[in-house]
A and B are shown apart, each in its own frame.
Chain A
Amino acid sequence: MINNKDKSDNFLKNLIKKAHIESPSPNFTDNVMNQIQAQQQPATQLTGKTAGIKNYYFLIAAGLGAVIYAVYYFISNDISLFPGEFDPILIPVFGKILASMKEMFQSIQVSSFTVVIIIAVIGLFIIDRLLRRFQTGKQTYFSF
C-alpha cells in the first residue's frame, strides 16, 4: 500500500532526477589513470617474484664476497682469524683448509689499487640496490 509519504517521495525522485548532475573536466579519467600508472611502477618492480629471487642472489653474493675478502685480508696480513685458545690452526682440518687458502691467495698478486677498485665496485652495487629499493614513481635513480 502506498502512503502519502511514499507518493511524495516517488514524485520528488522523478522530479529531482530531472535536475542536472555536475560533471568534472573531460580529461578527468585520463588524469586519474596517469596518476595511478605513475604510482604503480615501483610496486610491480618490487613485489614480483623475480625481484625476490634477485634479492636472494644478491644477499648470497654479498655474503660470499664479504667472507672471501675477510679471509684474504687476514691471510695476506698473516693475522689469525680467531684469537687465543680458539685459534682454528690447532684443529687439523681447519689448519689444512687455512693453509690451502693461504697458498691460493699468496699466489695471487693483487695491488692495493685493485683492492680499492673492487671495493668501489661492490660499494656502487650496494648503493644501486638500495636506491632501487627506495625508488618512487617512474623516476630512475639517475633522475633527481
Chain B
Amino acid sequence: MNFQSDNFYIDKVLNNDANAYASLVDKHKNMVYTIALKIVRNREDAEEIAQDVFVKAYQSLATFKRESKFSTWLYRIVYNTAISKTRKKQFETTDLNYDIVENYSEDDINEDLNRLDNNEQKKVINTVLKKLNTEDHLLVTLYYFKEYSTEEISGIVNISQSNVKVKLHRIRKKLYGEIQKFIKIQNKEIYL
C-alpha cells in the first residue's frame, strides 16, 4: 500500500478528518508493535501497548511540533510506555562479556553470506537476531531496519548519541561474531 507523507495525514486529522488517522495507524502499526514486542516480549501486552500509544498520540497530535519526524515522536511514546509497563526505568547496559569470535574479517563473512541464497540469508539473520538482548535488538531494528540516525535513536531511547554509537559498534561486532559462528556450524554440518 502506498502512503502519503505523515504530515499530509496529520494536517487532515487536525482539520477534523479523524478517519485520516487510520492511514497513519496502518503506516506505523508494524513498527510500533515490533518495538513494544521487543520490550515486553508478550504479544498480547505488545498489542495493548501499541493500541494505547496510537490513542495517546491521537489525543496529543495538536501538541506535536514537527521538530522531529512523526515516527520518531511516536516511537518515543511507545518506548516510554513499554518501558514503564515493564517497570524498566533505564536502558540496560550492554553485556560486555558476549561471545565475540576473534580473528574474523567482516569482508570474509560478507562474502560467505553472499554465497547463500535469499532464504538462507533470512534464516541466518533471524537466528542471529534472536540471540540479541531486548535493547540490542531494538537498536538494530531502529538503526539498520528503519535507518534512523544515531541522533534520532538517542531521542527515542533516552540515551546519549555517543552511547548509541558505542552500543551500535559493539552490536555490529557481536552480529558478525554470531553470523560467523552460525556459518561455521552450518559448514561443519555439511562436511560431516
> Residues of A with Cβ closer than 8 Å to B?
4-5, 7-9, 11-13, 15-25, 28-29, 31-33, 35-37, 39-40
Chain A residues contacting B131 (CB-CB under 8 Å) are: none
Assuming the contacts A8-B106, A16-B125, asked whether A24 and B58 have C-beta atoms less than 8 A apart, the reply is: no
**CB atoms of B145 and A21 under 8 A apart:** yes
Chain B residues contacting A23 (CB-CB under 8 Å) are: 29-30, 33
**CB atoms of A32 and B125 under 8 A apart:** no
Bound form: Cα–Cα A4–B173 in Å: 13
Tell whether B161 is near chain A: CB-to-CB under 8 Å.
no
Chain A residues contacting B31 (CB-CB under 8 Å) are: 21
Assuming the contacts A29-B25, A33-B22, A36-B21, asked whether A8 and B30 have C-beta atoms less than 8 A apart, the reply is: no
Tell me if B's interface is mostly helix, strand, loop or mixed: helix
**CB atoms of B144 and A20 under 8 A apart:** no
> Residues of B with Cβ closer than 8 Å to A?
18-19, 21-22, 25-26, 29-31, 33-34, 37, 46-47, 50-51, 54-55, 58-59, 106-107, 110, 113, 118, 121-122, 124-126, 129, 140-141, 144-145, 147, 172, 175-176
**CB atoms of B129 and A28 under 8 A apart:** no
Tell me if A's interface is mostly helix, strand, loop or mixed: helix
**CB atoms of B129 and A13 under 8 A apart:** no
**CB atoms of A12 and B144 under 8 A apart:** yes
Assuming the contacts A31-B51, A32-B51, A32-B54, asked whether A19 and B25 have C-beta atoms less than 8 A apart, the reply is: no
